[in-house]
Each structure stands twice: as structure tokens, then as C-alpha cells.
Structure 1
Amino acid sequence: MTATHPGTSTQDPPAERSPAAGHSRRMSGGPSRTTRRFGRLSHFALFGLPSLALYACFVLVPIGIAAYYSLTNRNPFNPPTKWVGLRNYRTLADDPDFWKVLTNTIIITVAVTIAANAIGLAIAVLLDRRGWLYNALRGVFFTPVVLSGVVVSVIWQSILTDDGLLNTTLHKLGVDHPPGWLSDPDLALYTLCWILTWQMIGFCVVVYLAGLQGVPHELHEAATVDGAGPFERFRHITWPLLAPALTINTVMMLISTFKTYDQVQVITNGGPGDRTTSTIAFDVIQTGLVGNRSGYSSAVAVVMLVFVAAVSTVVLRLLQRREVNA
């Protein structure tokens, strides 16, 4: 027998791990980082590429075609198409009709954005209650949003024409010379602004109601205990917490109203007079499809795209900064 001293072990020392054994264990233990990354990319391609293909087909490709046409004298009924460079843009800068149309579009955009937000917020505050009546009223105010611009235009045209419902009612009330809501050049543009505002209010109401329902009631209760009135509670609690809703509504109103076309085409057809209510989108269609000046109308469309993108980006950044400071 071989004597062993206390504290010593009879087991063999563990064998040293070789780098090759560790590498093979990592290889057999699971997929590598490259394989996992490829799997994630394949999932993204499977679900994302169809949407990206549709977006490219219906958005990016038409934008590229319009940008190319804007550098040519394209006329589908007077070939061949020739490259003219920036001549369309120089003509655009010197065209007083374009600046008039741009001014009309800016007036409509600013007026509708401000009015729809202000009236929508007031209605949302009034409808921020529980009960079947308030739920029904929310649906009523949102109904114009789901109607097409053509339907809304036909309804309001029948009301606001010189012999329409409104002027007929005013005649019966004793008004001898009611306003020409759509025939007076000084009123037609602002009448159009009201029609667009009426249709957009419901969207603002829904977004502001969602924001109001996210305001904690505990803050209002604490402010009430401290003696704050309704106006102070709205100013210092509700309004700052509605900053995200204001951002959504403002940006959506800017984009939607800047490309107004349906209401102008159906209600006023750009009149009364020469381009009194014409917008940029209406002018693009009239110049390109009616006047057959595809190159020039493409230049107008590109300018409209750049203008909307720039204004929307600036406004979005400013409102997002307000959200942080609120």
C-alpha cells in the first residue's frame, strides 16, 4: 500500500483546455453572430421589402420622374422632349401667376391650421365628459373627416351659391343683398378656408380628446385644492400636456391643406376671376393636364414638394422642442 499524506488528493489534475477545444465548443454551442445578424436581416427583408417596394413604386419613382420632367420641355402632344435644364424654374420665378397661387395656398394653409386647431381644442374640452350623448357628439364631429372632398364640396356648394340655402334664408329674413360667398372675389378664398376648416375640425377634436384623456386627474385635484381656477388649471396643467397632440394636428393640417385640390376644383374651379382661389395643387393639374405643359407643371410640383417638406420639418422641430420644454 502506498501511504498518502493528509490534505493531498488522489485525483489527477484537470487537463488544460486547448484553444482548439474552446473554438469547437463555441462552434457547436449555437449560431454565430454573423448567422444571427443574417437571420434578423432576412426577417426584415421578408416583412419590410414588400412595403418598401410599394413605397418606391408609388412615391419615390413618381418623384424621380417629376424631377426629370421638370428639366425638360415635355409636352405629350408636341414631341420630341428636349432637355432644357433649369429654364422651367427660371420661368417659374418670374411668373406672377405662380406667386399669386402660392400666396393663396399659404393663406389657406395658415388660416385652416390655426382655425381647425383652435375650434377643435375648444370642442374637445367641451366633449371631455362621460356619457352616451358625448360619445354620439364625438361621432358627429368626426363624420366630415371620413367624407371625400368631392362630397363635402357638393354639399357646401349647394348651400353657399347665390341662390343656395343660406342666401335664400337670408332673403326671407329681410336681407336684400346677401353676400356672394362663392362669386365675390373678396370672399371666395375665405369661404373656401371655412369649408376646409369644417372638414378638418373632427380630426383635431379626436386627437385633442386623446390627449385630454391622458392628463392625470390627480394634477387637477391638487391644483383645485391649492385654489387654482379652471383657466389656471388649463393653462398650467392641461395645455402643456397637450403638446404632442398640438404637434400632430399642426403638422397634419399643414400637409393636408397645402395640397388642397378637390374643393377648389368642385366649388370654384380656381375662380371667380383669374386664379382667385387657385392653389398650387390645382395649378399643377391645370397646367399639366389641361395646358399640356408637363415639364413646367412638374417644376411647380417639385417646388411644392420641397416647400412642404421644408416647412413641415421646421414646424415639427419647433413643436418637438416645445414638448421638451413643456
Structure 2
Amino acid sequence: MSATQTRPAGTGSHVTRRTTGPPRGRRRLAKAVHFLTFGAPGLLVYLAFVLIPIAMTVRNSFTNRNPANPPTQWVGLRNYTRLLQDSDVTGALSNTVIVTAIVTATANVLGLAIALLLDRRGWLYNMLRSVFFTPVVLSSVVVSVIWQAILADDGLLDSALRSLGVAHPPGWLSDPDLALYSVAFIITWQVLGFCVVVYLAGLAGVPAELLEAAEIDGAGRQARFRHVTWPMLAPALTINTVMLLITGFKAYDQVQVITNGGPGNGTTSTIAFQVVQTTFTGNHIGYGSAMATLMLVIIAAISVLALRVLQRREVTM
């Protein structure tokens, strides 16, 4: 409880001094205990499963660690210079960039279009929202198995095309010119529902008064979308773009299950797939760790750059 004390001043008036609560040292101690009680467990989990593994990976990247070929020696930057000359790594990085670009652009455009169509009231639209979001909660392995059965040479899609008179349907997964785009399509299909939900949340935050005022001023549907709705969706665009960039760059499950990096020699191999193959299948932990560190740096740099550019756009709009 607070106590109020008064003492006479030189002018005959009274000066009030209020003392509140415990001393500052005890308050700091209470805050520290509070943090240790509620924050420390989560911090320890983050430290054990994120920060420490990252530190160990970076350390291993400067060695030639290979359990099948001891001893482990310090090699400095040799693994990183080797990365720049490895055609498998540069090819996987190129494939990853293509997949990421397709997933980011396509999922954003289709997600916004579907969100605009579903931004209505009624049980039908509520059901359709659930339908579009269902792939997001499915395992990537399950989604990959389903689409492998659909897109295989003897799968459902090619069988349907043959029944319609197409003698030689495309090899969606066996044609080197199509396989990478098929994988990108499958990833886009799975993450599309997430983009739809984020854009629907952004559309729900657009003030109806602004749309009504623009309509009264004579703005048509396209003008209202361009000058009112689209600027208000800037935060949703930022969230979706950053999440899609990360999703594209860490694509692994779909490649492993559907194509195993083929057809051919690394046609659909991504950088994440190459990291797993090098580290765990080939036992080249040092070289694989350098590859993983490079992947981490690229993802972090692209994410930070995208956040800065898109957040600056939010302010200017």
C-alpha cells in the first residue's frame, strides 16, 4: 500500500511526498524471477534446438568431418571455395531460385484472386474457405504421395487424357523439362490456402467507409481496388511474400518423395535436398554443413531484404 507523508515547507505550505510499493531493487528482482519462471523454458528450448545446432553447423562447415573417414581436421574456407565450383550445388541453387520465384508469384496472385472471390458472407463461402485451407494442414509427404499418384506416367491425369484421345500425354514427372515446374506447382497448391486466409484477413480490415466514400465519388470497382483495397493489403502482401520465399528455399519433402532429385542428374534437386543428400547419405558432414550455412545466409538475406522493401512500401502507401 502507498503511504503519503507531508512536511512543512519554508513558505508555510505543505509539500506532499508519495512513496509507492517496494524498493527498486526488489522490483527488479521480481521481474527477473518472473522472466525466469515464464520465459526461460521457451528460451532454453530455442537455445537447444535452434541456436546451438546452428552454431555446431557453422563450426562443422570449417572442418572435413566425415564419420566414415576420421579423423576430423580443420580446413578453413576450403569447403566454401569448393561450393562455388561444384556444379551440383550451383544447379540445385538455380532450381531453388526457379521454384521460389514460381511459388511466390503464383501463390500471391492466385491467393489474392481467390480471397476476393470468397470475401462474402454465407455458408457456401465459409465451406469453400475450409476447402482451400485444408492442404495447408496436411503433411507435405501426404500431399506429395497424392500428387505423385495423379501426375505419374500411368497416373490419374494421364489416364484421363488418354481416355479423351491424347495419345502421348506429357510426362509431368518424367520429362526433365516439366518435372521442376510440376514440383513448383505442387508446393504452390499446398501453400495457396495460407495466402488466401491472410488476404481474407486483410480484406476484413479494409474500412467499409472508405469503399463507400470512393463509390460516392464515382470510383468504379477497379479504381476502388487499386486506390483503397490494394494499399490496405500491404501488410498481408508482406507476410505472404516472406513466408513463400522461405517455403520455396527450404523445399525438400516434395523433391524427396516425388522425384528424388530426378529425372536425370539433379533435374529437380534443390539446395535443401542437396544438403540432406550430402550430409546424411554421403556422410560428408563438413561439406554439407557449409552448404547448409550458405543456405541459411541466403534465406536470411532475402527475408531481411524483402521485409525492408515491403515494409517501406507499407509506409509510402
Instruction: Answer yes or no: same fold by TM over 0.5.
Output: yes
Gaps of 5+ in 1: 1-13
**Corresponding residue for residue 289 of structure 1:** 280
Query: Could you say which residue in structure 2 is the equivalent of 1:324?
Result: 315
Tell me the distance in 2 between the aligned counterparts of 1:190 and 1:55. Answer: 35
1:135 equivalent among 103, 107, 126: 126
Q: Which residue of 1 aligns with 2:4?
A: none
1:60 aligns with 2:43: no
Give unpaired runs (5+ residues) of structure 2: 1-6
C-alpha separation in 2, matches of 1:107 and 1:29: 62
1:168 maps to which of 136, 159, 174: 159
Distance 1:16 1:312, change over 3 A: closer
- Read off the aligned partner of 1:166 and give its amino acid letter: L
Residue by residue over 1:111-144, the C-alpha shift from the partner in whole angstroms, topping out at 9 and shown as x without a partner, is 1011001000000000000000000000000000
Once the two structures are TM-superposed, the CA of residue 39 in structure 1 deviates from its matched residue by 1.7
The count of aligned residue pairs is 306
* 1:260 counterpart letter in structure 2: A
Amino acid at match of 1:312: S
* Cα distance between partner residues in 2 of 1:288 and 1:259: 16
Match of 1:323, as an amino acid? E
TM-score (norm 1): 0.91
Report what 1:270 is aligned to. Answer: 261
Paired residue for 1:233, among 220, 224, 232? 224
Identity between Structure 1 and Structure 2 (%): 65
Cα 1:15/1:321, change in 2 over 3 Å: closer
User: Which residue of 1 is the match for residue 60 of structure 2?
Assistant: 69
Question: Which of 298, 303, 312 lines up with 1:312 in the alignment?
Answer: 303
Q: Offset of 1:34 from its aligned partner?
A: 2.4
Answer yes or no: is 1:191 the counterpart of 2:182: yes
Superposed CA offset, 1:83-104 (max 9, x none): 1111111111111111110000
- Equivalent-residue separation in structure 2 for 1:201 and 1:154 (angstroms): 18
* Counterparts in 2 of 1:16 and 1:129: CA distance versus 1, 3 Å: closer
Distance in 1, matches of 2:91 and 2:20, equals: 71
Question: Residue 15 of structure 1: CA displacement?
Answer: 7.2
Q: 2:238 — aligned with what?
A: 247
Determine helix, strand or coil for the equivalent of 2:39.
helix
Q: Secondary structure at the match of 1:220?
A: helix
Partner of 1:223: 214
The residue aligned with 2:148 is 157
Q: Kindly indicate whether residue 110 of structure 2 is the aligned counterpart of residue 119 of structure 1.
A: yes
Root mean square deviation of aligned Cα: 1.6
Identify if the C-alpha distance between structure 1 residues 29 and 241 changes in structure 2 by more than 3 Å, giving closer, same or farther. closer
**Aligned mate of 2:292, from 301, 308, 312:** 301
Find the counterpart in structure 2 of residue 5 from structure 1: none
- Superposed CA deviations along residues 190-241 of structure 1, whole A, max 9, x for unmatched, are 1111111100100000000000011111111111111111111100000000
Identify the range of structure 1 (196-205 vs 221-230) with the bigger mean alpha-carbon deviation. Answer: 221-230
Change in 2 beyond 3 A, CA 1:32/1:176: same
Using the TM superposition, give the Cα deviation of residue 41 of structure 1 relative to its aligned residue in structure 2, in angstroms: 2.3
Cα displacement (A) at 1:16: 7.8
Q: Distance in 1 between matches of 2:159 and 2:135?
A: 24
AA matched with 2:25: T
AA aligned to 2:47 is A
Structure 1 residue ranges, 4+ long, deviating more than 4 angstroms after superposition: 14-17
Query: 1:280 is aligned with what amino acid?
Result: I
- 1:85 counterpart = 2:76: yes
Query: 1:3 corresponds to which residue?
Result: none
